[in-house]
Structure 1
Amino acid sequence: MSSSSSRPRRRTADASPCPCGSSSSYGACCGPLHSGQSAAADAKTLMRSRFSAFAVQDEAYLLRTWHPGTRPARIDFDRGTRWTGLDILDTDAGSPFHPTGTVTFRAHYTHRGRAGTLRERSRFVRYEGAWVYMDGEISAE
């Protein structure tokens, strides 16, 4: 979900719809996770919040929720890409009672005005008590 040219985080009002597609506002959904006021209780919630972090270009949150063994040094957001929607297709484990989990999703975007999708099966693990993204397998649609 990244490529070139980092820039400051996009401002998202707390009352705005959450980019993850829930029926809640950003301030009641992913905003508290991004600000560090709360932590994801399960892998699916972390996946949704990470999608929202890509949408609002919150590099700090993405790096904080990425396993240190696979985490890049930085996130380079592509100026021409806007993340527009998320479909959770499948989950396996990843509850508050599991040490690992997977979430398969389809992310919708526009790149320089052209619509596209990205499908990934993401692996999540608990690291120091918190859910973090480990890695993922991108597949063709």
Structure 2
Amino acid sequence: NTGQEDYVGIRDNYFRTGEAFLLVYAINDQEGFQVLSSLREQVLRAKNTDRVPMILVANKSDLKDNWNKNNVDAGMEFARQHGIAFVETSAKTRYNVDLVFEKAAREVRQYQLANIQKPKTVTSKKQRKRCVIL
């Protein structure tokens, strides 16, 4: 399984360098939903943090006949528990697809603003003194 090991290394590199993460699962696939927690933990471990811009995406909402409402409800609960955004989409009909990327961009911006470290003011020992005579 050398190919899989190579993939893990590449994936971890993407996790380390990524700024936002979309956790996508199909609403008609229970197994896909089951890996979300593990995937979220892998991202957080690679980033060495407990918070990173992340959105949970429940895809295939166009399959109303073959979807499991429990998967959508469980997804909403998962997102609430972990403090991440939740969006229901359909890649087939493009329903909410743009919204996901707009939310991701906003999440990254908010994260960056919240984590900006103010530069320390360095005072020079040789400050010029000025005198104004009026």
Instruction: Please classify the TM superposition score into its range, dividing by the shorter chain length.
Output: under 0.3
TM-score after normalising by structure 1 = 0.24
Q: Which has the larger radius of gyration?
A: 2
TM-score after normalising by structure 2 = 0.25
The structure in which a higher percent of residues are helix is 2
